[in-house]
Amino acid sequence: MTDPRHSIRLDDFQQLIGTMYGSRDVARGVDGTFMWLMEEVGELAEALRKGTQQDRLEEFADVLAWLTTIANVVGIDLSEAIIRKYGSGCPGCGQLDCQCDQAEKP
């Protein structure tokens, strides 16, 4: 299926995931869903190491989809979360071009 869109807003993606999988995600619960996310993270690692660009494209999409699913299950608005934490720059130093010490996490 070819989709003419070249971009999607994060809140639209979260709503799409909820529409497609919301009821089964809630039934599975956060623990089972988190396990799926971890499995997909493993598949992304493999794709990054030895996969094709097509493999990587698919695994990035899967990881983001499962992360989004967990946010839906626990009632977190991802757009709000990202704006709150990163909307004004690096949460560590407050700069748009991070000036944190290289040894620190950001």
Nearer to Zn ion, 7 or 102 (CB): 102
Residue 92 as a binder of Zn ion (CB under 5 A): the answer is yes
- Total binding residues toward Zn ion, as defined by CB under 5 A: 6
Backbone dihedral angles phi then psi of residue 15, each to the nearest 5 degrees: -65, -40
Q: DSSP for 32-100? A: HHHHHHHHHHHHHHHHHHH--HHHHHHHHHHHHHHHHHHHHHHT--HHHHHHHHHTTS-TTT--SS--S
Task: Draw the binding track, 38-77, toward Zn ion (x: CB under 5 A; -: no contact).
Answer: ----------------------------------------
Residue 89 as a binder of Zn ion (CB under 5 A): the answer is no
**Can you tell me the distance from the alpha carbon of 19 to that of 46, in angstroms, rounded to the nearest whole number?**
29
Residue 100 as a binder of Zn ion (CB under 5 A): the answer is yes
Task: Pick the piece of the chain touching Zn ion (CB under 5 A) from 2-10, 14-22, 43-51, 85-93.
Answer: 85-93
Interface residue list for Zn ion (CB under 5 A): 90, 92-93, 98, 100, 106
